[in-house]
């Protein structure tokens, strides 16, 4: 029997996940149900992807085997209150909100519910996502396996402890933004040396993609790969020395630290609201 997946909220991440599962052949478009407060997003889901987008949140909760909540964190309680009485007991609720803990999510329901906290990233849209999943105690092994299959259809998946969520966010969830900034800087650097934007974009993005693939497929440490590229008195070592002298690594780690602190603040605020 086909798995029916529902989305309440259809922003960038929901669109990435929905496109990922369909492109991978995990589900048919007729088994994906979408709703959003923005009628243009529902129209986009229907016209571009062929998804069912005329259902209400209550109807989707009644229909879906897996219910993905893709609204803003502060909207979760209100949205859950709207549909929770219509939800089947075996429906798996998937959260993609960065700051909502399992404890907080469970507090929004008046009965035991299968809940999975996840942290995907937007490269899911091109089949190269990375997702951490955290199942709650009501999830059975088969349930967790289903969620792993869904998210692995558009990238890699790792089951982690909730204590690691801040580390996941800074290393993967938010990380594409840092990489895009670096690619943009590389593009501008190429243009400064005479390339067109189109040409510089191709060269810079392929270099980043290829470098990442080298790390993944060779198993060689990034520092060792870096040294292998740097010939003594060559061009690459000149750039690497400049980056080291200007604390490139320290800046990246400080940015990630700031990201982690903000993630922790949001989680703490979530816990306070739950306890009050």
User: pLDDT tens, 111-123?
Assistant: 999 999 999 998 9
Three-class DSSP category at 92: strand
Tell me where in the chain the CATH 1.10.3730.10 domain(s) lie. Answer: 174-245
pLDDT band at 1 (very low <50, low <70, confident <90, very high): low
Alpha helix positions (H), 47-161: 57-63, 76-83, 102-107, 141-152
User: What are the counts of helices (DSSP H) followed by strands (DSSP E) for the chain?
Assistant: 12, 7
* Cβ contact 15:77 at 8 Å: no
Q: What is the mean pLDDT of residues 82-90?
A: 90
* Cβ contact 236:211 at 8 Å: no
* Share of residues in the chain with pLDDT > 70 (%): 97
CATH code of 5-164, in short, is 3.40.50.720
Where do we find the tokens 């219509």? 86
Instruction: Examine the pLDDT at 274 and tell me if it is beyond 80.
Output: no
The predicted-structure confidence for 213-256, as pLDDT tens digits, reads as follows 999 999 999 999 999 999 999 999 999 999 999 999 999 999 99
Instruction: Examine the pLDDT at 134 and tell me if it is beyond 70.
Output: yes
Rounding to the nearest 10 degrees, give the CA dihedral for residues 236, 237, 241, 243.
Answer: 20
Instruction: Tell me if the pTM is above 0.85.
Output: yes
Tell me where in the chain the CATH 3.40.50.720 domain(s) lie. Answer: 5-164
Query: Which architecture characterizes domain 174-245 according to CATH?
Result: Orthogonal Bundle (1.10)
Cα–Cα distance for residue pair 54/59, rounded to 1 Å: 9
What are the distances in angstroms from CA 273 to CA 70, 79, 113, 267, 269?
20, 16, 20, 10, 6
Q: Provide the edge-to-edge strand list for the sheet that holds 5-8.
A: 32-35, 5-8, 66-69, 92-95, 114-119, 129-135, 155-159
């Amino acid at each position: 029997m086909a798995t029916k997946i529902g989305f309440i909220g259809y922003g960038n991440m929901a669109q990435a996940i929905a496109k990922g599962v369909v492109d991978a052949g995990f589900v048919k478009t007729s088994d994906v149900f979408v709703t959003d407060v923005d009628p243009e997003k529902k129209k986009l889901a229907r016209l571009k992807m062929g998804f069912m987008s005329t259902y209400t949140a209550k109807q989707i909760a009644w229909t879906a085997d897996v219910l993905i909540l893709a609204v803003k964190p502060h909207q979760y309680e209100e949205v859950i209150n709207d549909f929770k009485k219509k939800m089947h007991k075996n429906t798996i609720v998937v959260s993609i909100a960065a700051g909502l803990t399992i404890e907080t999510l469970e507090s929004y329901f008046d009965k035991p519910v299968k809940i999975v906290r996840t942290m995907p990233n937007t490269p899911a849209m091109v089949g190269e996502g990375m997702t951490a999943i955290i199942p709650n105690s009501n999830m059975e092994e088969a349930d967790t396996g289903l969620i792993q299959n869904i998210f692995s259809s558009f990238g890699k998946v790792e089951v982690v402890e909730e204590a690691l969520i801040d580390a996941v966010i800074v290393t993967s969830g938010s990380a594409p933004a840092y990489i895009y900034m670096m690619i943009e800087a590389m593009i501008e650097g190429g243009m400064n040396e005479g390339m067109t934007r189109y040409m510089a974009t191709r060269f810079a993005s392929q270099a980043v993609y290829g470098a990442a693939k080298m790390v993944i497929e060779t198993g060689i440490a990034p520092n060792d790969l870096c040294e292998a590229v740097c010939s003594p008195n060559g061009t690459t070592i000149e750039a690497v020395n400049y980056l080291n002298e200007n604390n490139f690594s320290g800046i990246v780690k400080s940015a990630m630290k700031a990201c982690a602190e903000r993630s922790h603040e949001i989680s703490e605020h979530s816990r306070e609201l739950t306890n009050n």
